[in-house]
A and B are shown apart, each in its own frame.
Chain A
Amino acid sequence: MPLEQDVLWYKRAIIYQVHVRAFCDSNGDGIGDFPGLNQKLDYLVDLGINTIWLMPFFPSPLRDDGYDIADYNSVHSSYGTLNDFREFMDSAHKRQIRVIIEMVLNHTSDQHPWFQQSRSSQENPRRDWYVWSDTDTRYHEAGINFVDTEMSNWAWDPVSKSYYWHRFFSHQPDLNYDNAAVREEVWNVMKFWLELGVDGFRLDAVPYLVEREGTNCENLPETHAVLKELRRKLDEQFPGKMLLAEANQWPAALRPYFADGNEFHMAFHFPLMPRMFMGVKLEDRKPITEILQQTPEIPPSCQWCLFLRNHDELTLEMLTKIERDYMNDSYAQDKAMRLNLGIRRRLAPLLDNDRRRIELMNGMLMSLPGTPNIYYGDEIGMGDNINLGDRNGVRTPMQWSGGWNGGFSTADPEKLYSPLIQDPVYGSPAVNVLSQKKTQHSLLNWMERLIAVRKTTAAFGSGSIEFLYPANHRILAYVRRLGEETILVVNNLSSAAQAVELDLRRYKGNILIEMFGKNIFPRVGELPYLLTLGPYYFYWFRLRKI
């Protein structure tokens, strides 16, 4: 189907999240760039993904890895030019790969000309583009996101001698969305990129757009109004494009971001992610089923976006204290692994490089309701470096081969934007694309196969889910249905082999076809359906009445 005709494409998407600077360096300056990314598109085609999510690539002082944007309408010179971007877009679309880009709406860099003008004088026309105050006591009910670095959401500006509001780092002043000119200019920015062909935006930190006294300044109706207005313009002028919300909130608080199908198309399911890790560590489905039971229905045109890991820390904000403590003790015993309210580690090290657990987690990612998001490098089991500050330890160069700089760059290693992972387990000699391509049973080849099988049915992306609750709590089992298609998923969350009896009487008469090997399993009858699963094993069955 031509890309432009598939308006619900995001439901069938398999997203690959990549940072341009981390993926491939084409000019030997030690920094990844768009031509480098362009060269690697066929790798992504082979992997089977059909959507790329680009992290910020705009001009920026890079004090927050590009989330501090200094110019919305250009490309950071280290990553290439606008022409390079256009070429990349063309190449991606030719390969049926869509591209969504990051759009940081809530704040800019303090180096952005808008802020420089705003702070220059109280009378400047852009003064009101940011949130200024004579005191640092307003909006005191709002929480601090980066508790490890920020003491307050207000920062003193010695230039204009007043406080400005920032929900993130103090060098990231929040835009003032009460100002119509700001809203209009933000739309102009989005329009600029849409005209260049981007297929959607991942909108960063959307709960914080508007501030109101007496509230925690999150998820306010005024914020939703701003977002709905952007969506309306998007639908009118660029139909088929998509908005994805980054809102680290509880499911009930997330639901309004879908509104009546007229705000966001997709939103990340933040509370589910840590509970998947918790479920595997506890060997108990309870955390997963519990949060999905609490997840409200969303409009048919909307979709959850699921992920195991991303560029940020594994956030534990959406956990209770007891759960958070458990996660920290289980996954971040070394306190250096902890950052803010989260764990700054990659997938493979989190799971002790246990191939079975990595497969199980990816299996759940691909089969639970939503669109899966794969963080670059996790498909080959890349490691992290907790000795690098902030979240940089999970943003190291992609490991393409076991050779010079892991095949990422021809630059001197000292020139790389970040050191490569060098430990003997996760370093590029041990973990790289080239060697995994050559090894039939490598994680990379397994991931390719997993994605290929996922793509054989639309039920995973668009189907309903019904949980089965076998007495064995170590088994997470659910049925995904779409039209006539029925898929049974059975996951063993335990490190030991398990037996489970499933009540499948409503599917009596069906035979089970295992979707990877296509082997036939016994027909479903009246009696409980007995399965045995090895440690961390999972099955995907297609139910067929033949």
Chain B
Amino acid sequence: MAEESSLTDDFLGQLISVGEVDLLVGVPTHNNSKTIGPIVETIQAGLLTFFPRERAAIINADGGSRDGTPGLVVSAAIGDVQRSSKMYALRTLHSISTQYASGPARGTALRTILAAAELLRAKACAVVSPESTQITTDSLAALLRPVYADTFDLVLPTYRRHRFDGVLLTNLLYPMTRALYGLRIREPYALEFAFSGRLGSQFLAQNAWQEEPARTGSEIQFTLAAIAGGYRICQTFLGTREHVERHSADLVPAMRQTVGALFSSLEPNFTLWNTKNGSEPIPTAGVEQEFTLEPLRINRKRLREMFSTGVAELESVFRAILAPSTLAELQQIAGLDEARFRYSAELWVKTVYEFAAAYHKSVISRDHIIQALAPLFRGRAFTFLMENRNGSAGNVENNVENLCLEFERMKPYLLEIWNGRE
């Protein structure tokens, strides 16, 4: 049973008014006033268009916005949606908002949404990112339908991305998750996904919500819980995912949330991944991945410099994490000029696996391990950009696929060092 006590009395009162629903769309927010209004209106329009007979609610879990975000969610007027689109709502469509107790944390937001879904006995739920300005009514339907109208328990997105958008995803999260768990899930760390009520309830009951990875990396934990539980998973194409400019300082927090969560998942799921070989595709509606090729300004020089500086400054840290031969190879390429620099797929996979093993053994603070991986990732990102700067979309996809195969090929190495060398 969920810990409903985490919900405020006011929120509980709102849920009582909503009552049982067929569909629930959760929107975690924190200071998203610039984008949230149109997104909620699109959700409303999607529900009216594609699920006009279903009982539905939009639940906003807010992390303490100071820019009026919750008010915008609640006041996003369905009447405006109806007038502008000539849609007709058979039913009352509720949009309600709650502010959870702790500061902004996606895990806590997800927990709130899961608790609401369980109390409302939602059959199908979707989580929509407050930054998903590309969301359409069709994409909302594409997320919800496989759960509501079919028998899938988890629907993950695939996108049309810029070839250099989501490099952490294409070079670490996707290939490593695929190699470990044997499923070709393109977006294991999805900010938009849909799930069945039963999967949501199980995750809500099982997850250790007080632990840091659960609070910060709950989305990937959710995916892994679905894999571990043998739930039916599929992917659905949601169209173009806008490239979001990120400051370089954003990388470490992003890695904590994603790579940290992935690494921390390895211990509890060891019996799940240690016997898997190779990988299998999962049912996918629409294309599995598309890359766009338009020009994008990236400061490649700075990437390589941050790699070289990191290798030099963090040598003592790396000695605790990496095999001597790996460190030596990194030091060797750190000295190469831009033209000759290449962080090979094999070396990158070896690096990542050694970091994962070190994380498992807690050779140093786990947070420091994740931080230390950041400059190395920048080096790998530099190589990825260089290798694909003139390539077609097909070439980029081939390179990603080859990297995945490298992760799969070297998986025995991870198993070897998992409990082996100190």
Q: Which residues of A contact B (CB under 8 A)?
A: 278, 282-287, 320, 322-323, 326, 470-474, 494, 496, 498-501
Contact = CB atoms under 8 A, between A and B. Distances in A.
A322 B90 contact: yes
A506 to B, nearest CB: 21
A286 B89 contact: yes
B19 A474 contact: yes
B90 A498 contact: no
Contact of B91 (A282, A320, A494): A282
Contacts of B20: 496
Contacts of A283: 19, 55
A398 to B, nearest CB: 36
Given A322-B52, A326-B53, A472 B88 contact: no
Contacts of B90: 278, 282, 284, 286-287, 322-323, 326
A468 to B, nearest CB: 13
Nearest to A472: B17
A435 to B, nearest CB: 37
Nearest to A320: B88
30 contacts: A278-B90, A282-B53, A282-B91, A283-B19, A283-B55, A284-B55, A284-B90, A284-B92, A285-B92, A286-B90, A286-B91, A287-B90, A320-B88, A322-B52, A322-B90, A323-B88, A326-B52, A326-B53, A470-B17, A471-B13, A472-B17, A472-B19, A473-B19, A473-B91, A473-B92, A474-B19, A494-B19, A496-B19, A499-B16, A500-B17
Given A286-B91, A472-B19, A473-B91, 5 more contacts: A282-B53, A286-B89, A323-B88, A470-B17, A494-B19
B14 interface: yes
Among B16, B19, B94, chain A packs the most CB atoms within 10 A around the CB of B19
A43 B404 CA distance: 84
A179 B175 CA distance: 86
A282 B20 CA distance: 12
Contacts of A500: 17
Nearest to B19: A474
A107 B92 CA distance: 43
Given A322-B52, A326-B53, A471-B14, A286 B19 contact: no
Contacts of B17: 470-473, 500
Contacts of B53: 282, 326
B91 A284 contact: yes
Given A322-B52, A326-B53, A473-B94, A498 B88 contact: no
Interface in B1-41: 13-14, 16-17, 19-20
Interface residues of B, number: 15
Nearest to A469: B92
Contacts of A473: 17, 19, 91-92, 94
Among A278, A283, A326, A472, max chain B CB count under 10 A is at A472
A279 to B, nearest CB: 10
Contacts of B94: 473
A517 to B, nearest CB: 26
Nearest to A470: B17
A138 B19 CA distance: 54
A319 to B, nearest CB: 10
Nearest to B94: A473
B49 to A, nearest CB: 10
Interface in B75-109: 88-92, 94
Closest A-B pairs by Cβ, 7 of them: A471-B17, A473-B92, A472-B17, A284-B91, A286-B92, A284-B92, A320-B88
Contacts of A474: 19
Nearest to B53: A326
A499 B17 CA distance: 8
Contacts of A472: 16-17, 19
B95 to A, nearest CB: 12
Contacts of A471: 13-14, 17
Nearest to B16: A499
A409 B204 CA distance: 66
B78 to A, nearest CB: 11
A283, A326, A471 pick with most chain B CB within 10 angstroms: A471
Interface string B244-273: 000000000000000000000000000000
A322 B14 contact: no
Contacts of A282: 53, 90-91
Contacts of A323: 88, 90
B282 to A, nearest CB: 34
A320 B53 CA distance: 13
B53 to A, nearest CB: 6
Contacts of B88: 320, 322-323
Contacts of A322: 52, 88, 90
A3 to B, nearest CB: 44
A217 to B, nearest CB: 27
Residue picked from B20, B52, B88, B92, most chain A C-beta under 10 Å: B92
A470 to B, nearest CB: 7
A391 to B, nearest CB: 27
Nearest to B87: A322
B14 A498 contact: no
Contacts of A470: 17
A500 B94 CA distance: 16
Contacts of B14: 471
A72 B14 CA distance: 60
Contacts of B89: 286
A282 B53 CA distance: 8
A501 B53 CA distance: 26
A471 B88 CA distance: 21
Interface in B90-137: 90-92, 94
A283 B17 CA distance: 12
Nearest to A282: B91
A43 B13 CA distance: 48
Nearest to A284: B91
Nearest to A330: B53
A379 B94 CA distance: 37
Contacts of B91: 282, 284, 286, 473
A277 to B, nearest CB: 13
B341 to A, nearest CB: 61
A494 B21 CA distance: 12
Nearest to B14: A471
Contacts of A285: 92
A470 B91 CA distance: 15
A283 B90 CA distance: 11
Interface string B41-83: 0000000000011010000000000000000000000000000
Nearest to A321: B88
B54 to A, nearest CB: 10
Contacts of B55: 283-284
A498 B94 CA distance: 17
B337 to A, nearest CB: 66
A470 B94 CA distance: 12
A287 to B, nearest CB: 7
B193 to A, nearest CB: 28
Nearest to A494: B19
A323 B53 CA distance: 9
B76 to A, nearest CB: 17
A529 to B, nearest CB: 14
Contacts of A284: 55, 90-92
A496 B18 CA distance: 13
A499 B94 CA distance: 17
A307 B90 CA distance: 22
A298 B107 CA distance: 56
B242 to A, nearest CB: 33
A466 to B, nearest CB: 19
B7 to A, nearest CB: 16
A494 B20 CA distance: 10
Given A282-B90, A284-B92, A471-B14, A498 B52 contact: no
Nearest to B92: A473
Contacts of B16: 472, 499
A471 B92 CA distance: 10
A286 B79 CA distance: 13
Contacts of B92: 284-286, 473
